[in-house]
Amino acid sequence: MGRRMGYLINKKYIDGEARDIETVVRLRPWIEDEWRNAHGQFKKTKLVTDYDAHRNIFKFKIIFSI
């Protein structure tokens, strides 16, 4: 699973790729805790996923509303 951090207006996000969506769902609380420890509190998160059939991989983005 890979991930990186980016910025939207009044929002920040982490995006990456995983082999299955269950991995992203399972790791989401941990990712949120790590974000909270590194960057402080946030209001809410939103998980956005997309499936790349050619590569058989899920792309995901966790958006943090600050």
Domain boundaries, the chain: 2-65
pLDDT of 61: 93
What tens digit of pLDDT does each residue of 1-47 get?
Answer: 555 655 556 678 899 999 999 999 999 999 999 999 998 899 999 99
Contacts with 64 (C-beta within 8 Å, 6 or more apart), sequence order: 11, 12, 13, 14, 35, 39, 42, 44, 45
The pTM (predicted TM-score) of the whole model is: 0.78
Residue with tokens 């956005």: 48
